[in-house]
Amino acid sequence: MSIIKVRDREFEPYLTAEEINGQIQRLAAEINHDYAGKRPLFIAILNGSFMFASDLFKAINIEAEICFIKLASYKGTKSTGQVVTAIGLDTDIHERHVIILEDIVDTGKTLKEFLPQLNHQQPASLELAVLLHKPEATEYPVHIRYLGFSIPNKFVLGYGLDFDGLGRNIPEIYHLKGE
Ligand code: XMP
Ligand code: MG
């Protein structure tokens, strides 16, 4: 891995595909253990979490369902603070064991606004599985039951995460150089 340029910015290597996969396998093993016999419903938040959701779900070996919603609060490299629901939930979560799949928790605003909407529908349980968390940036604390990596407060891209639409296809994770 070496420095890459996306639009006008330089990004440096941060997490390898092997490191990412290692954490995902660990999270999946924990979920397989904790949810055996509970037929959990995974809700993946698009766009950023599509690769994380795909790789994690492949490693789930118990009965489980998955569905997708689309929320967005980011423009360029900064959170706008405005959370928009672009594609809503089409599945009944009442009395279901729900696990939210999210690529990254930054300020925490997206989940802080979204979780009460889900709790309102009275799921049997509601937990978060998150690949990346920036503790230094978090203004709205959320409890992350299954966390891949705690990372510094730098903009990241790759493995589903984008910079202005680009970079999602990169199999590794990079962060903004010199931030
Ligand atoms: P909040 O601030 O609501 O942000 O926790 C969560 C959403 O913002 C996006 N996000 C990022 N996307 N690199 C990205 O490509 C980043 O460093 C980054 N930080 C936050 C992401 O979509 C997440 O769901
Ligand atoms: Mg996202």
How many Å apart are CA 66 and CA 64, to the nearest integer?
7
Q: Supply the mean pLDDT for the chain.
A: 93
Name all domains of the chain by residue range, CATH numbers in brackets: 19-164 (3.40.50.2020)
Least confident of 7-21, 25-39, 73-87, 142-156: 73-87
In this prediction, residue 74 has a pLDDT band, given cuts at 50, 70 and 90, of low
Ligand 2 centroid, distance to 170 Cα (angstroms): 16
pLDDT at 81: 64
Predicted model pTM: 0.94
Q: Residue 14: in which H helix or E strand, if any? A: strand 9-15
In this prediction, residue 73 has a pLDDT band, given cuts at 50, 70 and 90, of low
pLDDT at 71: 85
Surrounding ion ligand 2 within 5 Å at CB are 48, 103
Question: Nearest 5°: CA angle at 84, between 141 and 94?
Answer: 70
62 exposure class (CB count in 10 Å sphere: 0-12, 13-18, 19+): middle
How many Å apart are CA 15 and CA 103, to the nearest integer?
14
Cβ(1)–Cβ(14) under 8 Å?
no
Residues with CB under 6 Å of ligand 1 are 48, 73-74, 79, 102-110, 155-157, 161-162
Cβ(49)–Cβ(160) under 8 Å?
yes
pLDDT at 1: 80
Q: How many other C-beta atoms are found inside a 10 Å radius of the C-beta of residue 13?
A: 14
The percentage of the chain sitting over the pLDDT mark of 70, rounded to a whole number, equals 93
Which one is predicted more confidently, 112 or 84? 112
